[in-house]
Every structure is written in C-alpha cells, then in structure tokens.
Amino acid sequence: MFEPDQPWPDTLSDENSVSGEEALVGAINNCKTLLDSFSNTKKVITWSERMTNLQEDWTKARSTIFDCIISTEHLQSKKCSFCLEGDACVRCHQCGLSFILCEVCDERIHSCSAFHDRELWNGGYFEPASPVEKLDKLTCTKVESERMLPFGTDNCLSCDTAKSLTICCKKETVAVITTNGRFDFNKCIVKCNNCHMVCEPWDEYSCVIQNGYWPGSLKSPCSYIFHQDLFRMWDIFQKQMPGTSQKSFLAGLGEFSVQKGRNGVVNPTVFSVAFKEWKYCKYELESSMGFNWMQCPCCEKEQHSCHVDGNMKLYRYKSLESRDPSATTAIYLPKETVFNLT
C-alpha cells in the first residue's frame, strides 16, 4: 500500500505511451498502404486512348443525335406554345425549336427581337424567312410584311415625356449587317404627341452610333448600317488569320444570310470605307487614353538587342546547307552608335 506522499509508479504510464505510439505507427502505416493501393489502381490513359474513347462515344451517340435532328423538323404541335389558342406556323431558333408560335405571338415577340432567325411552316416543312416576311395562309406563300428595327424606348428625350412617342413604319428599308449576316428592316418615323417632334432616327448617324451601330454613309437617307461587333470580329480575324481576305469574309456572311432566308448582298466598298473610319476612330480614342501601339514596353527608350530570326522569320540554322558566318560572329551596331564613335 502506497503512502499519500509517495509518487505513483510509472509502469502504467509507460505501458500506455508505448501502446499509443504503436497505435499511431500502425495507423500511419495503414494510411500509407491505402494511398499506395489508390496510386497503384489508378490507370494512366494516354492521349491516343482518350481520342479513341472520344470517337467511340460519338459513334455510339450518332444515331440518337440523328433521330433528335429529325424530330425537330416536323410540326410538333398544331397550337401555339405561348397562347395555346392560335394555329402554330412559325418557329424560332433563338426562342427554341420546341416552341411553335402563331402569327399574333410571332409579331408580339419578334417586334422587339428583330434579329431572331424565324422559319415558316409551309407545305409540310419549315422554310427560312427574313424579318420582313410572313406566311399567307390563303395562298401558302411568303409575303412581305413590315418589321422595324428597334432603337430604344418610346420615351421622348426632347421633352422628357414618358410613353409619348408614336412610331410609324415606312416602305423604305435599311440593310443592317451584323455578325450573323444581313438583315433588312423598314425605316420608321418617330413623332412625339407632346412636343410634336418628328424625326427619322436611322437617318441620323448620331442615333446610329448611340445604339451600337456604325453608319455606312453620312448622307441621308442611309441604306447601310453595320453593327460595331462585326468590325471588332473582322479586326480580330485580320490579326489572327492574316491570310483571310475581306472578299472571302463578306462572301461567308452573305452565304450565311442566304441559308437563313435573307438577302446576302453586302457592298464591299461601303464595308471597307466604314471599317477604316471605325478603325481610325478607335485609334484616336485609344490615343486619347494614352495607348501607343507603335512603342514596345519592353524596349522602352533604347533597344538593347534583337534576334534576326524573330524579326525576319528565318529558317533554323540546322536546316540550312550553308551558313553565313557573319550572321553568328559579326557584331551589329546601329547607325547612331557608329556616328557617335566617329
């Protein structure tokens, strides 16, 4: 029996510490074994195997995809998908191929979404239609209709009156060229019922630019309007694909427009002049912001050195049969340095 003042023996604590250390070591070993098993069971897939699996997946799904495409080419419902009352005769790629519209809902929806690609159900199949076309049910043919290019709200900015503008459609049309090709719309006359202001917005280049477009000419009436995103795309194409010509680019836009049932003619002269003016305006804007694309930020004021292969796009030396020793051993000095030495 131990006295109260005597210390407890260390035998029990030593045994507990030893058993705890053994348990910890065992747990660590088990974790290592588990991790090793994961690393051993993981299969490394090569690039050729990944490409083979990708091709097999497409091969298996090819018939299903074809059936889905075929199912979208027939009239899925005889009633309008929106009002559930009118006879369905129009579908839209942007609204969704599963939604079929009647004439009333088509006019209500696409009066604001004028750049949607519509198709008319005619003779048992869908036929592409331009924004200014609709289907005549009596003759089962496409006839001309009126479709204006939306330009903003119906609030008068002259007298700051809400809902005071009356928009009247004109017979004259304007060609709007976007990244999706050419769209033809009717021009319009805007009248204010409060201040009696009358204007034709698409004949004023200030209104054209404020709505994100670029005028084809500055004379009224304007027959061509270009979306500025089209110029941005062509600017990128010129830099990323230097071999692409303007003629081929406009031909591609025209072909895409024809496939969508629209007029595919784009005047190359008008496009070229308008694009150059847009580029110059962009250059002036960037210059006012402090950009200088003709100055290299790495070279700064004095260029240290250059590599002839990087500047002249020469072939590699190993592929040459003979070499010019001056290209590798000579020292090149700029004219200013030579003048200073003399």
Same domain, 121 and 193: no
Tokens representing 296? 């290299």
Same domain, 178 and 253: yes
Same domain, 200 and 267: yes
Q: What is the pLDDT, as a whole number, of residue 8? A: 47
pLDDT at 131 over 60: yes
Supply the range of the domain harboring residue 134.
Answer: 55-145
For the segment 88-110, the average pLDDT, to the nearest whole number, is 88
State how far the alpha carbon of 156 is from the alpha carbons of 36, 49, 130, 204, 212, in Å: 74, 64, 30, 16, 19
Same domain, 64 and 139: yes
Helix (H, G, I), strand (E, B) or coil at 186: strand
Same domain, 217 and 186: yes
279 within some domain:
no
Cα–Cα nearest to 80, from 96, 97, 103: 103
306 within some domain:
no
Cα–Cα nearest to 197, from 160, 172, 153, 223: 160
pLDDT digits (tens, 9 = 90+) for 322-340: 656 655 566 666 666 555 5
| Rounded Cα–Cα distance for residues 202 and 189 (Å) | 9
Q: What is the pLDDT, as a whole number, of residue 332? A: 61
286 and 203 in contact (C-beta within 8 Å)? no
| Bridge partners for 169 per DSSP | 188
| Rounded Cα–Cα distance for residues 342 and 340 (Å) | 6
Please give the tally of structural domains in the chain: 2
Higher pLDDT, 83 or 203: 83
| Rounded Cα–Cα distance for residues 137 and 309 (Å) | 68
- Beta-carbon contacts of residue 155 (< 8 Å; ≥ 6 apart): 161, 162, 163, 164, 165
Q: What is the pLDDT, as a whole number, of residue 274? A: 96
Beta strands in the chain (DSSP E): 90-92, 96-101, 118-122, 125-129, 133-136, 141-144, 165-178, 181-192, 198-199, 213-215, 224-227
Helix (H, G, I), strand (E, B) or coil at 291: coil
Q: What is the pLDDT, as a whole number, of residue 1? A: 47
215 within some domain:
yes
Higher pLDDT, 39 or 210: 210
What is the rounded (10 degree) CA torsion for 250, 256, 258, 259?
160
31 within some domain:
no
Same domain, 177 and 255: yes
pLDDT at 4 over 60: no
154 within some domain:
no
**Boundary of a domain, candidates 111, 145, 179:** 145
295 within some domain:
no
Same domain, 109 and 203: no
**Boundary of a domain, candidates 274, 291, 325:** 274
157 within some domain:
no
Same domain, 266 and 202: yes
What is the rounded (10 degree) CA torsion for 274, 279, 285, 286?
170
Tokens representing 129? 């239609």
100 and 75 in contact (C-beta within 8 Å)? yes
Same domain, 135 and 225: no
Cα–Cα nearest to 211, from 263, 152, 163, 161: 152
239 and 256 in contact (C-beta within 8 Å)? no
| Bridge partners for 92 per DSSP | 96, 118
Same domain, 191 and 267: yes
Same domain, 267 and 174: yes
182 confidence band (pLDDT: 50, 70, 90): very high
Same domain, 141 and 181: no
333 within some domain:
no
Helix (H, G, I), strand (E, B) or coil at 96: strand
**Boundary of a domain, candidates 252, 274, 296:** 274
